[in-house]
Amino acid sequence: MNRWASVAVALLCAVLALALAWAMWDLPPAPVALPAQVAGSLAISGVEHPVTAVLLNFRGYDTLLEVGVLLIALLGMLAAGATPERMTALPPDPVLEGLARLLAPLMVLVAGYLLWAGAFRPGGAFQAAAVLAAAGVLLRLAGPVTAWTRPGRVLRLALAAGFVVFLAVAVLGLAQGAMLEYPRAWAGSLILAVEAGLTVSLGLTLAGLFLAGPEIPRGGPRT
Amino acid sequence: MAIESVAPLPWLVLLPLAWATLSFLLGPSRGAGIAIVGLLLQAGLVLLLAWQLTTMGTQHHAVGGWGAPLGIDLVADGLSVVMLLMTAAVALPVAIYARAWFVAKPAGAAWFWPLSGFLVAALNGLFLSADLFNIYVTLELLGLAAVGLTAATGERRAVAAAMRYLLATLLGSGAYLMGVALVYGTYGSVSLAVLGGLVESLPVVMLAAGLMVAGMLLKTALFPLHFWLPPAHGGAATPVSALLSALVIKASFYLALRLWFGVFEPLAAVSAAQVLGALGAAAVFWGSVQALLQARLKMLVAYSTVAQVGYLFLVFPLATGTPAEAAAGAWQGGVLQAVAHALAKAAMFAAAGAMILGAGSDRIDRLGGVGARLPLALFAFGLAGIVLMGLPPTGGFATKWLLLMAALETGQWWWAAVLVGGGLLAAAYVFRVLLAAFAPVPEQGRVTGVARSLEWTAFALATAGVLLGLFAAHVVTLLDVGA
Amino acid sequence: MILDSLLPPLVVLSSFLPGLVIFFLDESRVRLRTTLNLVGAVTKLLLIAYMLWGVFHQQDFVFRHTVLPGFDLVLNADALAMLFVTLSAVLWFFTTLYAIGYLEGAPHRSRFFGFFSLCVTATVGVAMAGNLFTFFIFYELLTLATYPLVVHRGTPEALRAGQRYLAYTLGGGAILLVGIIWLYTLAGSVDFVHGGSLAALGSAHAAELRWIFLLLIAGVGVKAALVPLHGWLPQAMVAPAPVSALLHAVAVVKAGAFGIVRVVYEVYGVTFAQVLGVLTPLSWVASATILWGSLRALAQDDLKRRLAYSTVSQVSYIVLGVTLFGPVGTVGGVVHLVHQGIMKITLFFCAGNYAETLGIHRVSQMDGVGRRMPWTTAAFTLAAFGMIGLPPLAGFVSKWYLGLGALEAGMDWVIGVLMLSSLLNAAYFLPIVYRAWFKPQAGEWPHEHILARGRRETGWLLLLPPVFTAAAALAVGLFAAMPFSPLDWVQLIAEREYAP
Amino acid sequence: MSLSPFDLLLAVMLLLTAWRALVAPDPFRATVLFIVFGLLMALAWARLSAPDIALAEAAIGAGLTGALLLDAVGHLRAVRRQSSPPGGDKAREAAK
Amino acid sequence: MSLGLFYALVGGGLFALGLAGLILQPRLLGKILAFNILGSGAFLVLVGLAQRGGTPDPVPQAMVLTGIVVAVAATALALALTRRLADLSGAAVLPEDDARAPANPRGPDGD
């Protein structure tokens, strides 16, 4: 791109920033007050923490699809593949490896706590999954876990488990009248089940984003 | 369970998600069978929904039982159902096609089935959603699935195309998300139903609408934002090309239409609509001329998509600020064009794929002999071409008819010139291919046969594109539900 | 009656369905293909015979299907439609027979006969179209169905001709479409109505209506090969002989001429068109076409090319008749639709026979061919005399009525055009006839494919169709005054058109 | 909660790191700057009374994305080393 | 000025910065960073503008959580494609030829 075009783009973006600022500057209060509605329905949502209530109950459908997004990102990576001979080879490091072996179980514990805490305070499946994923990344960097060439059946099941549980709950809700409608009495437990499934699957998927390695297209690598 | 008690709305999302997951669990390159069964069921569900719509009007489903604005609503009105019908009508034959295709050409087969399942789920979810943020999630689901599918052959060109596509689609949804943020900040809700009564002409809303529509233009590849489309649609595996060109770009067009003539109607300006129309006209000419210049068959078809997208955007000047009757006609014409192009373009890619497979090359000047060896594929290509040219009695003609009427009724004859000229240009590039395929070959037996289902599915899609024109009145009636 | 309203679509389907099946037949299924072809052709004839009887007794056969709001597909078997439908069905039957013989053993026959049937389907649709939309649908279908036939041989020359054909006809179609939609937005209806429906719009829209007339006539004039839109026709004669026969006598050219008839009589109304003052310019164009076509024909040595330019000229007789205000002129023009078809198809059959039997493509190769192929040459001679307008042949009847019509309309100069044109016709046909009968054979035939066996000069399927059509050309002239003759039928149409 | 000098400083730092990350010629440096940006974002979320997002941003936005980016940078460097002659200039420019 | 509005304004700035970077950065890695910055800007506006009255709003907060996960997924895919592209072509930039060249007469055969 030539110089003048670049300057023009930069100027336009600056104008956009100013326009955004000007537009947002003096807005009247919003006519719809959702926080009040959230607070009003929190008691029957099955959890005490409002963000978790929104995430897994009021707007649980968003979350369901979002887990799908993660899964397809992983699938896309596997599908695009990577050339095996150029995979980054890491030199073994005994210190790092020892540390990783020590830290990993601890991180799993933290993840469990975050998951449990999500019901009534900040935390929840995503944060827990992120910690799990971090453990996976650490283990990969330290050596014990190798890159995934082509996820086997067990791994695939683990990757999809959270999504499957979520889907099942969504279908279960249909019997109640609406997709993802939790029965009042069971709401808390069901949400916890969904979260537990998600923690495992999301953790693995997030780690997988890091670990997904060479998927060799049939017929060998193409260049 | 009585058929009335089946709620098709949630199932239309859950069903493809279910078979996508299942085929992922089955492993690489597997799941064609369940995909086809799933798509058959989906077709049944959509037909059921269309029936419910004509008898009972617009259908709603409050996810989680909460209802907007706290929860997310699914709503199926005429426009949604027509788009859902289009999705089902294209996805099922393409799946049958893909099953045979990946036997012949395994590149890209590994994760095709789960990815396309998510793609279909995203499309259905998008068409049904009545919640701006939920639509954002479906957009991302759709975009990433499409990019994954594009890259799946693992070839350099395909990966580069996928990367370009990914950046374009991310930028588009980023702009959309910013719009959603501004709208939520202003009104405190992202439900289309709630916003419908609130939106007024504030600067912040104008900015939001501008960002959202611009994002959709990029995703629909309207000239001059089309740069990412030809390499992606031309470089992907053929069943993927068909899905991308037929369906994926229609999703963002649908959204632009939905927003422009829906919640943002109070802001819609005639001048902005004229600009969109002008870009559309430029797309028609630019895309057609580029198609004429291509040496490779699939690139020709991909540039044809760039041209055909142009027609879609003629709706905006013809239906913004014009008399109600003309506007309604133009709007119907635009939606019909989306459907007609979906069927014809899927047919065209499918037929092109079969021809390329037979000829062993995707260069147009190497197609000689295809006419004799693969007459059905060539016939399908020709039929699809006729739909794109807008000749009667096809779906393309019904479209052109409605748009031309609107153009002349509103005295905007310059759009009529675009419609007529574009049709002739389309004829030029379609017949270029037909001529090449009719050419006799010196080397006997150079063209090989292909699986019959590759030819038949292309033919079925093209025929559907033709029949759409004869039964356009039904589509228009359906479209009027809840409009 | 429901069945009555279904008859028009059945007539259309009677060639469409066999065509569709044939398209997918394997190349080797000769017997099945032939059966399908003939069953379709005969069914169509039977259906038409029944409808002719009905129409004669003022029965209506109308089929209506709404495609879009305000856009109906209408098939209406009125008297004018039946004239054209009958012509095309009868000639299709003969051409099918001829084509079966002509293409024996040639490649891609399933494709050929598939499109051949589609072509007739489109022609019948054009004939029965009850409004301009329907007309346009079948008019475009005709373009698409004939294109593969024109390029059938796949030679570079054929492909070039096909490209030119497409460029002309698709361009014409686009112009026609704009005209139709413009008219629709103005008048709210484009149905074909006896006496036209636009007079009510009056002089307020005169200028627009003149422009629309120009668009419509230019759109259909491409296929009618009006000068200067005729460029595609002489090139398209590279097609196989049965295709040329169909193109020139029945399908494409006639669809254009027929379109002009419909536009003038049933959209504008001949009276209103006269008021608008659009008929006289059209008569000039028609006259110019008549003379130009004949002049060009004179200069051609290639037999089919000469016949092609002759078509350019002859078809404009129809247009000329339409522009002559008054029932007699109408009779002359419309009856020529039939007469020209019968005569021209005979000529092309004969030309095909010469080429297929002896490899003769040029006029200069025809010396003495009358003795080798007497039946064919006799048929050729009869048709050529008819074209010149010698009594009592079909062409004479047309020209007679055209002349009377010109006098009635007060356009005496047209007589001059007719005279001059007849002289030119004679000038390019008589030498051929003379050579064939009276000159001695000059050396070997260029390429003798089919040897004479006894009295049979060529294959039966090649010989019978031209003999029959030549006899018909004689018969429609001789018995023009009989009931149910084309002339009689056309007089019925003219009466209805000019009825107050 | 009202605006404090800390917020002003945070805002300036956010914009500054973002800008620097975008214009940094060295991919490694850009990535490190981006990780810093992510951590600053986490602080901003905390200021906006959104501890959930702060946690997620720190863990996913800065942590995981950072790890992915660093890994990619390393990979690109390895590619550049292996394919200097053919990919030549472009590769060098890419991984500079 | 409320805290929410202040951060929303910062978000607007980040969005514009990211947009410029996405368009102007030639390197893929740079484009990916720019996309993340653009996204962060949009998230800040979403929460900030909604909380301009001072009360925390869990709805946009949940949306942002969703958005962050989507963003990391997109980033991971983008990086994987970048790596793959670098493996195949030796460069982490988009080739100019594919998109521009109208006709590629000497292009290789393929599908």
**Predicted confidence band of residue C271 (pLDDT cuts 50, 70, 90):** confident
Contacts of E49 in chain B (CB under 8 A): 181-182, 184-186
Contacts of B375 in chain C (CB under 8 A): 111
> Chains B, C in contact: 3+ Cβ pairs under 8 A?
yes
Contact B22, B34 (CB under 8 A): yes
Residue E77's nearest CA partner among B241, A70, B120 is: A70
Structurally, how many domains does chain D consist of? 1
- Among B96-110, C440-454, D56-70, where is mean pLDDT lowest? C440-454
Q: E85 touching A, CB under 8 A? A: no
Report pTM.
0.91
- pLDDT at residue E105 above 80? no
- pLDDT at residue C383 above 60? yes
Q: B162 touching E, CB under 8 A? A: yes
Q: D56 touching A, CB under 8 A? A: yes
State the chains in contact with E (3 or more Cβ–Cβ pairs under 8 Å): A, B, D
Residue C119's nearest CA partner among C153, C144, C150, C102 is: C144
Please give the structure tokens belonging to residue C201: 């719009």
Mean pLDDT value across residues B196-201: 90
Q: E85 touching D, CB under 8 A? A: no
CA distance, residue D22 to nearest chain E CA (Å):
6
Which domain range does residue D72 map to? 5-94
pLDDT at position C477: 87
User: How far is A210 from A222, CA to CA, in rounded Å?
Assistant: 23
CA distance, residue D2 to nearest chain E CA (Å):
6
Contact B43, B121 (CB under 8 A): no
pLDDT at position B319: 93
Contacts of D71 in chain A (CB under 8 A): 88, 210
ipTM of the complex: 0.88
pLDDT at position A215: 35
CA distance, residue B206 to nearest chain A CA (Å):
9
CA distance, residue D36 to nearest chain E CA (Å):
12
Tens of pLDDT, residues B295-305: 999 999 999 99
- Among B34-48, B238-252, C203-217, where is mean pLDDT lowest? C203-217
CA angle B124/B128/B132 to nearest 5° reads: 115
pLDDT at position A83: 46
- pLDDT at residue B14 above 90? yes
Contact B408 C108 (CB under 8 A): no
**Predicted confidence band of residue C239 (pLDDT cuts 50, 70, 90):** confident
- pLDDT at residue E110 above 60? no
Tens of pLDDT, residues C136-161: 999 999 998 898 888 888 788 888 88
Q: Is the peptide bond before C392 cis (omega within 30 degrees of 0)?
A: yes
Listed by start position, the domains of chain B span 271-483
Contact C369, C378 (CB under 8 A): no
User: How far is C314 from C291, CA to CA, in rounded Å?
Assistant: 10
Which residues does residue E2 pair with via DSSP β-bridges, in sequence order?
A: D2
pLDDT at position B204: 94
**Predicted confidence band of residue A133 (pLDDT cuts 50, 70, 90):** confident
Please provide residue C235's backbone torsions phi and psi, each rounded to the nearest 5 degrees: -70, -35
Q: D78 touching A, CB under 8 A? A: yes
Query: Smallest Cβ distance to D59: which of A122, A131, A209?
Result: A131
Q: B189 touching A, CB under 8 A? A: yes
**Predicted confidence band of residue A93 (pLDDT cuts 50, 70, 90):** low
Mean pLDDT value across residues A36-64: 91
Contacts of D27 in chain E (CB under 8 A): 27, 29-30
Q: E24 touching A, CB under 8 A? A: yes
Contacts of D52 in chain E (CB under 8 A): 61-62, 65
pLDDT at position E97: 52
Q: Which of A12, A16, A32 to mutate to test the interface with B (most CBs of B within 10 A)?
A: A32
Mean pLDDT value across residues E47-70: 93
- pLDDT at residue A89 above 50? no
Contact C225, C256 (CB under 8 A): yes
- pLDDT at residue D8 above 90? yes
Q: Is D80 exposed, middle or buried (0-12, 13-18, 19+ CB in 10 A)?
A: buried
Query: Smallest Cβ distance to C151: which of B416, B438, B472?
Result: B438
**Predicted confidence band of residue D84 (pLDDT cuts 50, 70, 90):** low
CA distance, residue B290 to nearest chain A CA (Å):
22
Q: C454 touching B, CB under 8 A? A: no
Mean pLDDT value across residues C16-31: 84
Q: A133 touching D, CB under 8 A? A: yes
By C-alpha distance, the chain D residue nearest A136 is D64
By C-alpha distance, the chain E residue nearest B215 is E19
Residue A179's nearest CA partner among B141, B69, B88, B67 is: B67
Q: What is the residue whose two structure tokens read 């095709």?
A: B112
- Note every long-range contact of C396-401, with CB atoms under 8 Å and residues 24 or more positions apart, other chains counting: C396/C477, C397/C335, C397/C339, C397/C476, C397/C477, C397/C480, C397/C487, C398/C317, C398/C321, C398/C332, C398/C335, C398/C336, C398/C339, C398/C340, C399/C317, C399/C332, C400/C332, C401/C321, C401/C328, C401/C329, C401/C331, C401/C332, C401/C335
Mean pLDDT value across residues C459-485: 87
User: How far is C321 from C330, CA to CA, in rounded Å?
Assistant: 5
Q: Is the peptide bond before E58 cis (omega within 30 degrees of 0)?
A: no
Query: Smallest Cβ distance to B154: which of A20, A27, A81?
Result: A81
pLDDT at position C121: 92
State the chains in contact with A (3 or more Cβ–Cβ pairs under 8 Å): B, D, E
Contact D65 E75 (CB under 8 A): yes
Mean pLDDT value across residues B340-345: 97
**Predicted confidence band of residue A92 (pLDDT cuts 50, 70, 90):** low
Residues with Cβ within 8 Å of B280's Cβ and at least 6 positions away in sequence, in order, are B222, B223, B309, B310, B311, B312, B313, B314, B316, B418
Contact A206 D75 (CB under 8 A): no
Mean pLDDT value across residues B270-296: 95
Residues with Cβ within 8 Å of B222's Cβ and at least 6 positions away in sequence, in order, are B276, B279, B280, B283, B309, B310, B313
> Chains E, C in contact: 3+ Cβ pairs under 8 A?
no
Query: Smallest Cβ distance to B472: which of C24, C68, C133?
Result: C68
**Predicted confidence band of residue B437 (pLDDT cuts 50, 70, 90):** confident
Contact A32 B69 (CB under 8 A): yes
Residue B86's nearest CA partner among B301, B243, B308, B256 is: B243
Contact A61 B65 (CB under 8 A): no
Q: Is the peptide bond before A122 cis (omega within 30 degrees of 0)?
A: no
- pLDDT at residue B444 above 70? no
How many Cβ atoms from other residues are within 10 Å of residue C251's Cβ?
Answer: 29
**Predicted confidence band of residue B1 (pLDDT cuts 50, 70, 90):** very low
User: How far is B246 from A125, CA to CA, in rounded Å?
Assistant: 37
Mean pLDDT value across residues B304-315: 96
State the chains in contact with D (3 or more Cβ–Cβ pairs under 8 Å): A, E
Between C196 and C209, the more confident residue is C209
By C-alpha distance, the chain D residue nearest A126 is D56
Percent share of chain C, pLDDT over 70: 98
User: How far is B309 from C495, CA to CA, in rounded Å?
Assistant: 52
Tens of pLDDT, residues D19-73: 999 999 899 999 999 999 999 999 999 999 999 999 888 888 788 888 888 888 8
pLDDT at position A146: 63
- Chain D residues 16-55 with CB within 8 Å of chain A: 51-52, 54-55
Query: Smallest Cβ distance to A79: which of B18, B110, B140?
Result: B110
By C-alpha distance, the chain B residue nearest E105 is B295
Listed by start position, the domains of chain C span 1-269, 278-500
Please give the structure tokens belonging to residue C364: 């200069």
CA of B99: how far to CAs of B348, B373, C282, in Å?
17, 22, 59
- Chain A residues 45-64 with CB within 8 Å of chain D: 51-52
pLDDT at position C455: 63
State the chains in contact with B (3 or more Cβ–Cβ pairs under 8 Å): A, C, E
pLDDT at position B443: 63
Contacts of B372 in chain C (CB under 8 A): 107-108
User: How far is A184 from C436, CA to CA, in rounded Å?
Assistant: 102
Tens of pLDDT, residues A207-217: 887 776 543 33
Q: C26 touching B, CB under 8 A? A: no
> Chains D, B in contact: 3+ Cβ pairs under 8 A?
no
Domains of chain E listed by start with CATH number? 3-89 (1.10.287.3510)
Mean pLDDT of chain B: 92
CA distance, residue B205 to nearest chain C CA (Å):
36
Max distance between CA atoms of chain B, in angstroms, equals 70
- pLDDT at residue D87 above 70? no
Contact E93 D93 (CB under 8 A): yes
